[in-house]
Structure 1
Amino acid sequence: MRVGIAAIIGATALLATGVMATGPDWQWQDLPAGVAAPVLPADNPMSAAKVALGRRLFYDRALSRDGSMACADCHQQARGFSDGLPTHAGVTGDMGVRNVPGLANVAWRSGFTWTEAGITTLEAQAMVPMTGTRPVEMGMAGSDAELGQRLDADPCYRRLFVRAFPTAQGGATYAKVTAALGAFQRTMISFGSAHDRGALSPLARKGATQFAASGCASCHGGADFTDGKVHYVGTAAPGEIDSSAYGGKPPPPGFEPPPERFRTPSLRNVAVTGPWLHDGQSRSIEAAIRRHAAAQLVGIDMPALLAFLDSLTDRPFLENRALGRPADACPAAT
């Protein structure tokens, strides 16, 4: 997304600072030792009511212009909340330009989108697919009033919004919608892989050693195997630069325009989030690795490295019913 970033950030009206904010009925569950609760926007504390609302909104196609697209159509749980496509078409048929990233542990991210767009909260990020125009995704730009009317016409949503925002005036707004979506996405917590449990196979253990020795961890480091930063690593597609010529090397002197830089994706659940890289043009993990790290692969045992990456798949996360499509019955019916 390349336009309207200031408007997107402003529309959410969120504070730049954050706190470990929770409502009286919320406690973070099952965080591993040494993993602190995520820092939240100061004006969007967690609550069970807000998470329930956000879950329903995440799976509701009413958030798109023609009712044909929900957040969950691009972010599918079984695929680590990616979608299995190189890029995803929007409601007008415009094809997206970036591969849909997974959402595991997004509560701990401090930067969103593939490039450095200045979007630092999930609340601000949610406005990009809903209201962005380059490309059009959900097609709701300029439809603030329509969105409110559409949601307020649903008796279930009226009750859910009151429960989630008991002190706020009025009905559904973009700010409330994005706050609820952000709260739900912060429950997409993934720390149950074989790697997390210390249950690596001998081949995966060898791959873990190679992963560190080859320099992969210099960018794919930390608990979620990402430094959260943008880098030029030679992965731009034809038309951006000739990726096959650079393969992770510095671009040639005088190269114009400057090559694109892309944010390091998390490797959690990487085995199920393909196709890979920013443009979705790598059809296998091995192809993605070779496309941007060829110089580091001399002597590498690729089966071992792939076994290690497969060990980052968290099956309980992919099957967690609390993250799946909610029941049709309204949770605020009583």
Structure 2
Amino acid sequence: MRLASFSLAALAGALVLAPRGGQGTPVPAPHSLVAARVELGRRLFYDADLSANGTMACATCHEQRHAFADGNTTHPGVTDEPGLRNVPGLANVGRFARLTMADPAMTTLERQVETPLFGTHPVEMGMKGRAREFARRLGGQACYKAMFARAFPAQQGRIDTGTLALALAAFERTITATRAPVDQGPLPPAAKAGKALFARHCAACHAGPDFTDFAYHRIDLTPDQAERGLMDATGREADRGALRTPSLRNVALTGPWWHDGSAPSLASAIARHHLDLAPGATAPLIAYLDAMTDPTLMTRADLDMPATACGQPL
């Protein structure tokens, strides 16, 4: 397996093994274990057997060609229940402090996996109450049994929600975007002008290396809109409609935009922020947003659907 654009050493540092007997300091997982989990997670990411009726994989909504978004307003789940929010891209998701638009408690990829698998508001992959199906479906395949055994020797290759989530999270941490013009420079003149505008009008919320402060803000929501946002987690009316600032990594490729996909263009999304922009300022802002695109994210072979597993074609 070819791994690119991320450090196995850094990823191993994020995966720790408890010391024997519970004594001493946890140590980083060996590179071989990390690689085995990434390989397994990649296969699982593209496997529709993780959904109730076998029609939806993680990659159904998170398509590599769309920077791991999907190009739709929202995406229905396996029961055809309409999606609630626009599918976000996954660039650099492994370093996000908060992982969903409206739940501040969702801070780890391993836990977040449960939302698409088991969530009911809305139903996505429809596996609530069916967690034992993973062992039956995947455990019935010799290659999966071998892959889980390599990835989880301490768990004797157990196939369950816990090991599945660990493997998916390991793969998701490799979905990195760090080679955009904003990272490498120099910027073309229009994007350079847009950077100055961005610093003045946008960077208070779209801050840091992934252009998000991970905080919750209410923007362009009217009282009659149904979006409850952070209020679902806190119960506070003051939090109605507040949503986590989205990352802008590869934003030019993740449209349509806005929490519900209702902004068909970057220009319309910018307009909804009600910024005090001079005439003609939108174009350089968009040029700067374009410069946040790392084109390698859409072409990396190690992030694409695997062609083989256990030495055999899939």
Aligned to 2:14: 40
Distance 1:194 1:86 in 2: 27
Deviating 4+ runs (over 2 angstroms): 27-31, 36-46, 233-241, 256-259, 295-300, 328-333
- 1:260-306 per-position Cα deviation (integer Å, ceiling 9, x unaligned): 11011110100000011111110011111111x21332446111110
Distance 1:317 1:308 in 2: 18
C-alpha RMSD over aligned residues: 2.6
1:1-334 alignment, distance < 5 Å: 40=14, 42=16, 45=29, 47-169=34-156, 171-214=158-201, 216-235=202-221, 239-240=225-226, 259-291=240-272, 293-299=273-279, 301-331=281-311
Distance 1:211 1:328 in 2: 44
Q: Deviations over 1:176-222 (max 9, x none)?
A: 000000000001111011111113111111111111122x0001011
CA contact (8 A) 2:92 2:176 kept: yes
Please state whether the residue corresponding to 1:207 is helix, strand or coil.
helix
Q: TM-score, structure 1 length as denominator?
A: 0.80
Q: Residue 270 of structure 2 contacts residue 282 of structure 2 at CA under 8 Å; is this kept in 1?
A: no
Q: Secondary structure at the match of 1:104?
A: coil
For residue 184 of structure 2, give the secondary structure of its aligned residue in structure 1: coil
SS in 1 for 2:159: coil
**Residue identity matched to 2:293:** T
Q: 1:107 to 1:39 in 2, by over 3 A?
A: farther
| Change in CA separation of 1:170 and 1:54 when aligned onto 2, cut-off 3 Å | closer
Q: 1:159, 1:332 within 8 Å by CA — same for their partners in 2?
A: no
Please give the alpha-carbon distance, in whole angstroms, between the structure 2 residues aligned to 1:55 and 1:128. 18
Structure in which a larger fraction of residues adopt helix: 2
**What stretches of structure 1 of length at least 5 have no aligned partner?**
1-26, 242-255
Determine the C-alpha separation between the residues in 2 that align with 1:186 and 1:85: 24
Secondary structure, aligned partner of 2:148: helix
Q: 1:135 to 1:236 in 2, by over 3 A?
A: farther
- Over the matched positions of the two proteins, sequence identity in percent amounts to 44
My pick for the range that moved more, 106-115 or 63-72, is: 106-115
Asked if the contact 2:215/2:245 (under 8 Å) is kept, the reply is yes
Structure 2's unaligned 5+ residue stretches are 18-27, 228-236
- Give, in whole Å, the separation in 2 of the partners of 1:116 and 1:329: 36
How far apart are the structure 1 equivalents of 2:169 and 2:206? 24
Mapped contact 2:72–2:256 kept (Cα < 8 A)? yes
Contact 1:160 1:332 in 2 (8 A): no
| CA-CA distance at 1:172 after TM superposition | 0.8
Rounded to whole Å, the distance in 1 between the matches of 2:256 and 2:300 is: 23
Could you state the TM-score of these two structures normalised by the residue count of structure 2? Answer: 0.85
AA aligned opposite 1:223: P
CA contact (8 A) 2:99 2:106 kept: yes
Distance 1:94 1:322, change over 3 A: same
Alpha-carbon deviations, 1:125-175, whole Å to 9, x = none? 111000111111000011121111100001110000000001113531000
